[in-house]
Chains A and B, each alone.
Chain A
Amino acid sequence: MKAKNEIKNIDKKSQKKAIIKVRNLEVTFPIRQGNVIALDDINLDIYHGETIGIVGESGCGKSTLGFSLLNSIQSPGRITKGEIYFHDENILNKTKKEIQRIRGKQISMIFQDPMTSLNPLLRIDKHIIETIRKHEKNVSKKEALERAAYLLDKLGIVRNRLFDYPHQLSGGMRQRVMIGIGLALNAEVLIADEPTTSLDVIVEAQFINLLNQLKDDFGITLILITHNMGIVAEISDRIAVMYGGKIMEIGDSRLVFKDPLHPYTQGLLKSIPNIALDDNSLEPMPGFPPDLLNPPKGCRFAPRCKYATEKCFNEVPPVFEYRERLVSCFLYEKKK
């Protein structure tokens, strides 16, 4: 059931095939005081086989974006505008049953806290076998068990740990089990929402090495949602920087780090501690993130931006193409 008109990539120069295309997405959370626009006019392409890092501070909408891709925003939030294409089919038009088939089977998601994502009363093997048999009815229990053991072995967990309960595993192991469940159905896309936040540095580094290896072994498309710029730098091919429910800048990871265009990206990179650098200067970013109940009229970042002009306060900047990047800032309006 292919859509007749293939949706064009946002970045017209890119020849790569986009597996997920997000167009004009808006997500609203109605609360007593009014409507919180958690995501506002999001446009994003995710290419096949790439790792894209979605970064931003808490409340910028990065997790909401992750949930939208599975059409599973928690009520009372809902998608109020826009389309999300997965293989050129709009998933927002699909029935609940169809969506469920995509979830897990084609797109799977892992979360920050592996303890709350696993059922404490179920052994690890049950988690994986159940997931496999739910989506692939003709697989026998024995086959499913073999697949589970193979996967966990790939993830560095020995076979007999399969018969443990979640509480018997360490945090790092639980997170690897979560990936195992995600990979059990050979999902094409893995969304990882802050996967290492609850892990210690050394375990975190082990986990990143593992993700890098999985990318090669399984050719998976990885969407990494995180606030940790270090992790993004280590693993992402491209980066989308979010602020106040909008995407500020999208581009190749090296370019974004070496030559950040958007003033927010610049500020963010200057305010993170870098242990590899000799100097000890950090530049704090003045001000606070915007109140999404009453967002600024123009650019969301304008009140904290040192380059802001009157125009920035009154008009929402469109997306400009500049130095192989898509950037939403008037500074790049006339530059080519």
Chain B
Amino acid sequence: MESVTLKDTAKETKKDTLIEIKNLKKYFEVERDLIQKLSSRTKRYVKAVDGVTFDIKRGEVFGLVGESGSGKTTTGRLIINIISPTEGSVLFDGVDLTKLSKRELKHFRRRMQVIFQDPYASLNPRMKIGKTLMQPLEIHKIGTPREREEKALELLGKVGLTPPEIIFTKYPHQLSGGQRQRVVIARALILNPDFVLADEPVAMADVSMRVLLLELMMDMKKEFNLTYLFITHDLATAKYVCDRVAIMYLGKIMELGPLRDVFQNPLHYYTKALLAAIPIPDPDHKRKVDIPKGEIPNPIDPPAGCRFHPRCPYKMDICEKVEPQLQMIEEGHYVACHMY
């Protein structure tokens, strides 16, 4: 696989695209109590992801940013097909994953791996680190036991867990949080994937550990020619790793574009507010944008029209009725807002 770093959207061809997401939707049914069932009230749904379309190019770090409840994690899970979508498709290297059988999917699973937020919950407490690392190889029947062990030791060294021979024989509880997250990264890489979904990979780490983990992820990206989907609520972290970002709100993408454009010239008021809300480690810093009132509304009955209109100071009549579509304003920079 060739590694192409793409920032030039003009030369975009299908060949450069690793993952294509088209009109992806996921509705979760809301559980009804007995009375609601008897009164035969219609089923209600949480529209966790409601029509999301974007591409991830080979070799890029695509950031999916949003507050809790925005649907970013659900989108990630739909992409790697841990859950199946209500509607829409996910094309991985041109193949629609949503149409594959479990067996066919297994082949693709090898090519996409996950790093979750919580390194305490994502490692089996009863399994030694060595076994944890070799298991994916066993499942996919790769190599001899001896080769698997060598591969596991090699990766432990690469993610900075030294001496690998000692770490290999340890249990997760004997490692610190930062070390555990390194194990999780090593496990994600052992199958030589093309694509890694990193869902809040550093949210639980301490500040001084965070930088080291991010650096490790970027080093590994170079070494293994990886493409990342980086899911985070923290725009400051996104700034340091992402090439392009999409800002999500209530199951929809509000703005999408190259990181620099989105951060330095945000178009959507929500993006502006998100950026302004981040506390800056500088006592002389003053906020330039007012913080919107209220909180993210209930995704069961999202507001009609633009989902952000109840909190938007620039609301127009049209915003309450018509849902704005993502449209390109500048090269590769999209926004869903009636002001443009």
Contacts and interface: CB of A to CB of B under 8 A. Distances in A.
B291 A205 contact: yes
B277 A267 contact: no
B207 A57 contact: yes
Nearest to A231: B279
B277 A230 contact: no
A297 interface: no
B292 A273 contact: no
A288 B161 CA distance: 13
B207 A271 contact: yes
A253 B283 contact: yes
B300 to A, nearest CB: 14
Interface in B228-287: 233-237, 239-240, 263, 273-285, 287
A268 B280 contact: no
B68 interface: yes
B210 interface: yes
A59 to B, nearest CB: 8
B283 A275 contact: no
Interface in B129-147: none
A230 B291 contact: no
B215 interface: yes
Contacts of A58: 206
A228 B211 contact: no
Contacts of B240: 273, 280, 282
Given A201-B233, A209-B291, A271-B207, A233 B281 contact: yes
Contact of A201 (B207, B277, B282, B287): B277
Contacts of B284: 254
Contacts of B287: 205
A176 to B, nearest CB: 11
Given A200-B67, A201-B277, A284-B211, A257 B236 contact: no
Nearest to A286: B212
Given A233-B285, A283-B211, A274 B236 contact: yes
B206 A234 contact: no
B68 to A, nearest CB: 6
Contacts of B178: 288
Nearest to B66: A200
B282 A284 contact: no
A230 B292 contact: no
A271 B211 contact: yes
Which of B282, B287, B296 lies at the interface centre, i.e. has the most chain A CB atoms within 10 A of its CB? B282
B160 to A, nearest CB: 11
A202 B273 contact: yes
Given A205-B276, A271-B208, 19 more contacts: A57-B207, A172-B295, A201-B277, A202-B274, A202-B291, A205-B291, A253-B283, A257-B281, A267-B208, A273-B237, A273-B239, A273-B240, A274-B236, A275-B239, A282-B214, A283-B211, A288-B176, A289-B206, A289-B208
Interface of A: 57-58, 170-172, 200-206, 208-209, 227-234, 253-254, 257-258, 267-269, 271-276, 280, 282-285, 288-289
